[in-house]
Each structure stands twice: as structure tokens, then as C-alpha cells.
């Protein structure tokens, strides 16, 4: 068995990225020949890394995320998630977390979290047990029977995160998950997310508008240009982990945020 | 400061005053019996002729039940097709929407020519009368589903049948129910109106018959029977709706109510 284990390690070993995108371009079909949305995107996300994509509105960062999730197909180029392409959504490989509005209002918090399992026909008792565990992971014990409209914005987003984590996918894609939250809740939720991430060892790709959020959360920040979107900068965030709120006051934090801002300001759209 | 009584108390008070006036105004001789027979006299006639009224009510109920089945069944089916398929929507929705404003009662003579003056013509007429609000609100309910719900469900691996049963149907339920409540009420109106126009049985027929011989108490007895029927229907519909749509957030209801409300306006005048 020993040599077999080694072989697997050689083939898909530590060097292989969790996400590999090569030569990805996308054109939205239209009467005038279409609009170029993404141009020649290349990126590699290492296993267990927290990567944040920032860019101006309409730069195609959400489109890119949808393609990584298998929810949309690119006109050109290749995407490999854990070594395999994504022709269709595969929730056991890639989990997606949307804004809070994507919780189903007709289901309780627990039923929302269980939803992906019930689609797969997981027995009710097992579902309930796993969902309850997720609920306490995101710090919402006792709120399982509440409906989304009975929860605050931050609580809804916690439920959303629990729903994304319940199938235990190694890859987690997050599309501006905290955009609808107020500044204070947003900071708390970012910190919570890092806590959860550090206990689950997942690879995260996180899309946001907020520069502060990007630097605070990320191992690496990818800056995208205005449409047609391309990656114009790749910044390694060398702040130590675990991150603390007081790091935002350090000069390194300021320099990193400024570098992203300079990149975005250079863009023709001005962001 | 004197505090106002609760709205429920005021409602019952208004009802009590109304019933008292109904009894007292004719007794004092202020209103001739031809215009308004006293409540006690109306109830007395209703009791005296209870077998006639009960038989007529059974016929009316039978016609209402059949036409509700047609209105709801056909309305949900056609509404789902129109709401779900863009091509059908573009073709048919403008036609149906404008037909809804037409006073369909002018077509009733044609219905009697086709189906005779028995129950069939009432069922067909009232069925079509109630069909429109059910169909239009079902189409609206499906069309206005939050796109994030569908995207999230797909990312969690939902198949097309699962999307329909687990997302589209529950998400459109509140709007569909609003249409069912309205459509059901319109079938009652449709049945009674058609019974009053050309018929040989039913409560509406009794009202018309007694009006032609100036038997005012018996006219009001018929009106009372229909009033009770309509109120019973409304309370049943509300109770069912509350059981089925517990989750309904206030925001969604407020957003939809004005549109359905204004669409409903032409209908009662058409009767």
C-alpha cells in the first residue's frame, strides 16, 4: 500500500493547485458581435489558500466565479478544479456562498442548511445531525427553527455559510457574501469566516468590492480590470495569521491596501 | 386621554349596529318593507322556506365547486406555462391581460346557447370568470422568482425536476394563493350572476324570481344566504393560506399586493 500512496501523492501532490484556470475568455453573445467580458484569465490557487478577487463593478469577477462553480460556461479556455473540469455544478467538490438573499424564505434555518443534503436524498436523521453541527459551527445554536425573515442580516449570512459548508466541499467560492451587511457586522463576519476557515482547511476564492476586507482576509489578492476583465495585479498579503483587528492600523496593511487602490485607480473606468 | 377600543371590537360593534338598524329601520316605518324587510322577518321567511333555500344553496354550491375546480386547475396550469415559457408569455400574456378587463358577462348569452340554462352554463361561465386572476397571478408568481434562488439551488446540485418542486413551486405559492383567493371569489360572483340572468335553479334564481313578484323578504333571504356563503369561503381561504404560507415575509406581501389589487379592480364592476 505504501507505494500506492506515494504514487497518488506524486500525481496530485502538494504542487497541484486546487484551481487552475488557463487562457479563459468569455464573450457575451449580442447582435453587434457580442461583448468581451473576460480576456485571457490565468490563475492558480494553491490548496488551502484564501484568495480574494477585487475589481470595479461589471469587471466580470462574478462571471468568473460562476464559471469556477460550473454554473456558467466560458467561451474559451480551461478550468480545472481539483484536477477536473467543471461542466456542471458539483456541490461535493465546490460549494458556493451567495449574498444573504439566496436563503429560501419558506424554509427554517436548519431546513435551509439541510437543503443540499436533501437534494441528494441523505436520510433525515443524518441531515438534521449534520445541520445542527453546522449551526453551532457558525455560532447560531438555538436559532435553527427560525425563518430567514426572523433573523438579522449577519445571522442570515451565517446560515448561508453553514449551507455552503455542509457538504464539506474542499473548495469554497464566495460571491460578495457580506455586501448587503453594515460595516460593523461585515467586520465581525469577516473575522468569523477566518475562524471557520482556519478550522476547516478549505481553499477559498472570495469576491469583494472592499479593499479593507480583501487585505484583512486574503493570502493573495487578485486585482481585475474593468470590462473586459483581466487580472492586472497579484498581491501576496504577508500579514501574519491569525489576523487581528489591530493589524488594520499597521503600515503594512496600509501599504497593501494602497497598492490595490493604485491598481484600480489606474483602470480606465476609475472604479 | 381616552384609549381607542381594539379594531376587532370596533368591527363587531359595526356589525351589531348594522344588524340593529336592519331590524329597527323597517319597524319604525322609516323604510317601507318593499325596500327593506326587517331582519327578523327575513330570517323568519328563510326558516319557513328552509327546504327550498337549502336545495337552492346545494345547487349553487355544486356549481361554485365545479367552477372553482376549473378556474384553479386551468388557471394554475396555463399560468405556469405562460410564466415559465418566455415564448408563450410574449404570445399570450398581452391577450389574456386585456381580456381580463372585458366584462365577460356579456358573453353569458352565448354560454346558455351552448350549454343550456342548466348548471353547465353557470359552471362554464364562472369557471372562465375565475380563471383569469388565478392564471395571471400564477404567471406573475413564477416570473418574479428571485433569480438568486434558482442559481443557489443549481449550485447545490438541484436537477430540473428538483428546481420545480423544491424552489419554483414554494417560491411562487404566496402569489398563487392570492390569485386563488380572488379567483374563487369571482367564481361565486359568476355563478350567482348567471343564475340571476337565465336559470331555473339556485340561490340567484330564487332572488330574481322573488324580485319579479315583489316578495322583498324572500329576496333578502337569498341575499343573506349568498352573503354567508361568500364570508365562509373567504375565511376558509384565508385559513388555508395561513397554514400553507407560514413563512411569508411582510415585505414580499406588500410588494405584490398593490399589483394584484389594481389588476383585480375591473373585475367586480364587470359583474
Residue ranges of the domains in chain A?
Answer: 45-74+81-93+170-271, 104-168
**ipTM of the complex as predicted:** 0.85
Q: Give the pLDDT confidence score for residue B149 in this predicted structure.
A: 93
Closest chain B C-alpha to A148 CA, distance in angstroms: 8
What's the grid cell of residue B4? 381607542
Identify the pLDDT of residue A213: 92
Closest alpha carbon to B225 in B63, B69, B21, B55 = B55
Per-residue pLDDT tens digits for B113-132 = 999 888 999 999 999 999 99
The pTM of this model reads 0.78
Nearest to B187 by CA among B130, B133, B232: B130
CA A146 to chain centre: 26
Contacts of B251 in chain A (CB under 8 A): 149
Contacts of A216 (CB under 8 A, 6+ apart): A190, A243, A247, A248, A253
Q: Which residue of A has its CA nearest to B161?
A: A119
**Contact check, Cβ <8 Å, B157/A147:** no
For residue A102, the distance in angstroms to the closest alpha carbon of chain B comes to 5
Q: Across all residues in chain B, what is the average pLDDT?
A: 85
Report CB contact under 8 Å: B250, A149.
yes
Confidence of residue B12 (pLDDT cuts 50, 70, 90): very high
B241-to-A36, A187, B73, B252 alpha-carbon distances in Å? 48, 40, 17, 15
Using the structure block, give the residue that is written with the C-alpha cell 352565448: B110
Chain A positions in Cβ-Cβ contact with residue B167 (cut-off 8 Å): 104
Closest chain B residue by Cα to residue A168: B156
Q: What is the mean pLDDT of chain A?
A: 86
Half-sphere exposure of B210 (CA within 13 A, CB side): 23
Q: Tell if the CB–CB gap between A102 and B171 is shorter than 8 Å.
A: no
Task: Give B180-232 as a 3 state SS string.
Answer: HHHHHHHHHHHHHHHHHHCCCCCHHHHHHHHHHCCCHHHHHHHHHHHHHHHHH
Confidence of residue B144 (pLDDT cuts 50, 70, 90): confident
CB contact under 8 A, B156 and A69: no
Instruction: Judge whether residue B271 has pLDDT over 80.
Output: no
Q: So what's the pLDDT on residue A268?
A: 60
Round to whole Å and give the CA distance between A195 and A205: 16
**Is the model's pLDDT at B257 over the cut of 60?**
no
B174/B184 Cα distance (integer angstroms): 15
Rounded Cα–Cα distance for residues A136 and A132 (Å): 6
For residue B35, pLDDT over 90 is answered with no
DSSP letter (8 states) at residue B6:
P
Percentage of chain B exceeding pLDDT 70: 90
What's the pLDDT score for residue B262? Answer: 37
Q: Where are the beta strands (DSSP E) in chain A?
A: 19-28, 35-45, 50-54, 76-81, 94-97, 171-175, 203-208, 220-224, 231-236
Task: Quote the pLDDT of residue B1.
Answer: 54
Q: Is the pLDDT of residue B240 over 90?
A: no
Q: Bigger pLDDT: A191 or A31?
A: A191
At A117, the pLDDT band (50, 70, 90 cuts) reads very high
Q: Which residue of B has its CA nearest to A104?
A: B149
User: Cβ of B148 and A147 within 8 Å?
Assistant: no
Mean pLDDT within A54-82 = 89
- Hey, which CATH number is domain A45-74+81-93+170-271, 3.30.505.10, 3.30.420.40, 3.40.50.450, 3.40.50.300? 3.40.50.300
pLDDT of residue B248: 65
Please report the domains of chain B, with CATH numbers, ordered by start residue: 39-270 (1.10.3720.10)
List the beta bridge partners of residue A207. A53, A175
Reported as a pLDDT band with limits 50, 70 and 90, residue A221 is very high
A38 torsion bin: left (phi>0), alpha (psi -120 to 50), beta (else): beta
pLDDT band at B158; cut points 50, 70, 90: very high
How does pLDDT run across B204-218, given as a tens digit for each residue? 999 999 999 989 999
- Report the alpha-carbon distance of residue A58 to residue A69 in Å, rounded: 18
Q: Which of B154, B155, B166 would best serve as a mutation to test chain A binding (most A beta carbons within 10 A)?
A: B155
Can you give the pLDDT at residue A52?
Answer: 95
Q: Is the pLDDT of residue A238 over 50?
A: yes
First to last CA, chain B: 46
- Answer whether residue B245 shows pLDDT above 90: no
- B63 pLDDT above the threshold of 90: yes
Residue of B96, B97, B124 whose CA lies nearest to B108: B124
Chain A residues lying within 8 Å of B164, measured CB to CB: none
Instruction: Write out the three cell numbers for B72.
Output: 384553479
CA-CA distance, A236 to A260, in Å (whole number)?
A: 11
Contacts of B176 in chain A (CB under 8 A): none
What pLDDT does A138 receive? Answer: 87
Name every residue whose Cβ is closer than 8 Å to that of residue A105 and which is 6 or more positions away in sequence.
A147, A148, A149, B247, B248, B249, B252
Q: Residue A263 — very low, low, confident or very high, per pLDDT cuts 50/70/90?
A: confident
> Which pLDDT band holds residue B258 (cuts at 50, 70, 90)?
very low
Of A66, A89, A102, the CB nearest to B149: A102
> How close is the nearest chain B Cα to the Cα of A138, in Å?
19
pLDDT at residue A227 in the model: 79
Q: DSSP label at B247? A: T
- Cβ-proximal residues to B136 (8 Å cutoff; 6+ apart), any chain: B79, B96, B97, B100, B179, B263
Mutual orientation of helices A183-200 and A153-165 as an angle, nearest 10°? 20
pLDDT at A123: 95
Residue numbers in B near A69 (CB within 8 A) = 155
Mutate which of B144, B151, B156 to disrupt the A interface (most A C-beta within 10 Å)?
Answer: B156
Grid coordinates of A256:
497593501
pLDDT given for residue A270 in this prediction: 44
Q: What is the pLDDT of residue B31?
A: 82
Q: What percent of chain B has pLDDT over 90?
A: 48
Chain A positions in Cβ-Cβ contact with residue B151 (cut-off 8 Å):
66, 71, 98, 102
Give the model's pLDDT for residue A65: 92
B169 → chain A, closest CA residue: A106
**Close Cβ partners of B225 (under 8 Å, ≥ 6 residues apart):** B46, B53, B56, B57, B203
CA dihedral in degrees (B80, B86, B89, B91; nearest 10)?
A: -140
Amino acid at each position: 500500500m505504501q507505494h500506492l500512496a506515494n504514487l497518488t501523492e506524486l500525481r496530485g501532490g502538494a504542487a497541484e493547485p486546487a484551481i487552475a484556470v488557463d487562457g479563459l475568455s468569455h464573450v457575451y453573445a449580442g447582435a453587434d458581435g457580442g461583448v468581451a467580458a473576460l480576456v485571457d484569465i490565468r490563475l492558480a490557487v494553491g490548496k488551502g489558500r484564501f484568495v480574494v478577487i477585487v475589481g470595479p463593478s461589471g469587471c466580470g469577477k462574478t462571471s468568473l466565479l460562476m464559471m469556477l462553480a460550473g454554473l456558467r460556461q466560458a467561451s474559451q479556455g480551461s478550468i480545472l478544479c481539483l484536477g477536473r473540469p467543471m461542466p456542471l455544478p458539483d456541490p461535493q467538490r465546490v460549494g458556493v456562498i451567495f449574498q444573504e438573499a439566496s436563503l429560501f424564505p419558506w424554509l427554517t434555518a436548519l431546513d435551509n442548511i439541510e437543503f443540499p443534503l436533501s437534494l441528494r436524498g441523505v436520510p433525515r436523521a443524518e441531515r438534521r445531525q449534520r445541520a445542527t453541527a453546522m449551526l453551532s459551527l457558525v455560532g447560531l445554536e438555538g436559532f435553527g427553527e427560525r425563518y430567514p425573515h426572523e433573523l438579522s442580516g449577519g445571522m442570515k449570512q451565517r446560515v448561508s455559510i453553514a449551507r455552503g459548508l455542509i457538504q464539506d466541499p474542499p473548495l469554497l467560492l464566495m460571491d460578495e457574501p457580506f455586501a448587503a451587511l453594515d460595516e460593523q457586522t461585515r467586520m465581525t463576519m469577516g473575522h468569523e469566516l477566518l475562524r471557520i476557515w482556519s478550522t476547516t482547511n478549505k481553499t477559498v476564492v472570495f469576491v469583494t468590492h472592499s479593499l479593507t476586507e480583501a487585505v484583512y482576509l486574503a493570502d493573495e489578492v487578485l486585482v481585475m480590470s474593468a470590462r473586459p476583465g483581466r487580472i492586472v495585479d497579484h498581491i501576496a498579503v504577508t500579514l501574519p495569521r491569525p489576523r487581528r483587528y489591530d493589524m488594520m492600523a499597521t503600515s503594512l496593511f496600509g501599504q497593501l491596501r494602497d497598492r490595490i487602490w493604485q491598481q484600480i485607480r489606474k483602470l480606465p473606468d476609475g472604479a | 386621554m381616552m384609549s381607542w377600543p381594539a379594531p376587532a371590537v370596533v368591527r363587531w360593534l359595526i356589525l351589531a349596529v348594522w344588524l340593529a338598524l336592519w331590524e329597527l329601520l323597517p319597524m319604525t316605518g322609516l323604510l317601507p318593507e318593499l325596500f327593506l324587510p326587517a331582519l327578523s322577518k327575513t330570517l323568519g321567511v328563510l326558516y319557513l322556506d328552509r327546504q327550498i333555500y337549502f336545495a337552492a344553496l346545494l345547487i349553487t354550491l355544486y356549481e361554485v365547486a365545479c367552477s372553482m375546480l376549473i378556474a384553479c386547475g386551468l388557471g394554475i396550469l396555463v399560468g405556469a406555462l405562460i410564466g415559465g415559457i418566455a415564448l408563450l408569455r410574449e404570445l399570450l400574456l398581452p391577450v389574456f391581460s386585456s381580456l381580463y378587463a372585458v366584462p365577460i358577462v356579456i358573453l353569458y348569452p352565448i354560454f346558455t346557447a351552448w350549454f343550456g340554462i342548466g348548471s353547465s352554463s353557470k359552471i362554464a361561465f364562472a369557471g372562465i370568470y375565475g380563471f383569469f386572476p388565478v392564471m395571471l397571478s400564477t404567471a406573475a408568481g413564477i416570473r418574479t422568482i428571485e433569480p438568486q434562488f434558482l442559481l443557489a439551488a443549481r449550485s447545490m446540485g438541484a436537477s430540473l425536476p428538483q428546481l420545480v418542486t423544491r424552489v419554483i413551486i414554494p417560491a411562487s405559492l404566496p402569489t398563487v394563493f392570492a390569485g386563488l383567493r380572488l379567483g374563487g371569489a369571482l367564481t361565486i360572483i359568476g355563478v350567482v350572476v348567471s343564475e340571476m340572468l337565465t336559470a331555473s335553479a339556485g340561490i340567484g334564481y330564487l332572488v330574481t324570481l322573488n324580485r319579479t313578484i315583489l316578495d322583498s323578504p324572500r329576496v333578502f333571504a337569498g341575499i343573506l344566504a349568498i352573503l354567508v356563503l361568500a364570508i365562509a369561503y373567504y375565511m376558509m381561504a384565508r385559513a388555508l393560506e395561513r397554514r400553507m404560507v407560514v413563512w411569508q415575509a411582510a415585505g414580499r406581501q406588500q410588494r405584490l399586493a398593490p399589483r394584484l389589487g389594481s389588476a383585480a379592480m375591473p373585475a367586480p364592476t364587470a359583474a
